[in-house]
Amino acid sequence: MLIRTAAAVAGTLCVAAASAQSFPSKPIRIIVPYVGGGAVDGSARVVAAPMSEAMGQPVLVENRPGASSMVGMQACAKSPADGYTTCMTVADSLSYNPFLFKNLPYDPDKDFAPVINLLRGNSMLFAKGNAPFNNFKEMIAYAKSRPGTLNWGTWGPASVPDMYLQWIKHEVGVNIAAVPYKGAGQAVPAVLAGEVDISYMVIGAILPHIKAGKLKPLAVVGGRRSPLLPDLPHLAEEGADPGLRSYFGIFAPGGTPKPIVDRLNAEFAKALQLPKVQEFFRTQALDIVGGSADEFARFLREDRVNSGRVFKTMGVKPGDAPT
């Protein structure tokens, strides 16, 4: 019996290895669970182009926004575990949603195979160009003196910018209303148009608007002060940083054979080494991370523990997704 079992396992591994050698034989898609025009969408397209050339098959980006990224993530989770469907997302899908929604349409542990941690984001809080305040401290003072008059464009309930808003409201005690959009591709234009007062975005994507005076920088969020705006304080310096970690990650459906996961990891890693790709991410204030699939899996486990700590501090329970 043991011999037959061992033989079956060996046979499965051989099939997976052979499949990885012939992979890919058709187009690969990267599902982005956000609208086009945002940082995740743009980053996916930047790595997809050279991967298409290197792998000899089209690598296509497909936007599937909706329901706090759950529409796109469910589509990824339910796809065949053969490496031809991947998804690229940030922390809300797998590090936040499990703590905020009672009935996720996917299992964050079983339904996804981590492939690679592509990037770490350095983002900022910003305001419309004619806002009656010029920095984070002034924004808080204004919000406290005029409760309920400011609003904040998010990427939907439980999105990364929404979590920063909820934390600031909890820690600082201000009344700022959330205005949900389907992604940064909608939220940023809304601030530029004056429809909302404040929002959140990776630094590089809005730096031209900052320099043109169309938007006002308030504070950096993420790992550190940005060399692109060295004088802009980090949110931690303002006493309002929740300690949430940023990542732009690639996932395959759960059960994807390890040889194929490793092949995908290697191809994404090669794309990250290209000078034109590195230059793009440098201008966007996005730090390249890379590493193995196993390293990314360990990072995700640690990140979910950290996110749980933040939500416990806020008193948030499943079903309490902010609206």
Summarize pLDDT for 145-161 with one digit per residue, the tens. Answer: 999 999 999 988 888 88
How much is the pLDDT for 43? 96
Token readout for 36 is 């086009």
How much is the pLDDT for 223? 65
Domains of the chain (ranges, CATH numbers): 27-121+246-314 (3.40.190.150), 123-238 (3.40.190.10)
Summarize pLDDT for 112-158 with one digit per residue, the tens. Answer: 999 999 999 889 999 999 999 999 999 999 999 999 999 999 988 88
How much is the pLDDT for 230? 92
Q: What mean pLDDT do residues 67-89 have?
A: 97
The label of the residue with tokens 């990364």 reads 160
The region, left, alpha or beta by phi > 0 then psi within -120 to 50, assigned to residue 71 is alpha
The label of the residue with tokens 């099939």 reads 15
How much is the pLDDT for 318? 78
Instruction: Provide the mean pLDDT of the chain.
Output: 90
What separation in angstroms does the CA of 178 have from each of 44, 155, 186, 202, 215? 27, 10, 14, 19, 19
Contacts of 136 (CB under 8 A, 6+ apart): 125, 218, 219, 233, 235, 238, 240
Identity of residue 216: K
Output the CA torsion 148→149→150→154 (10° steps).
60
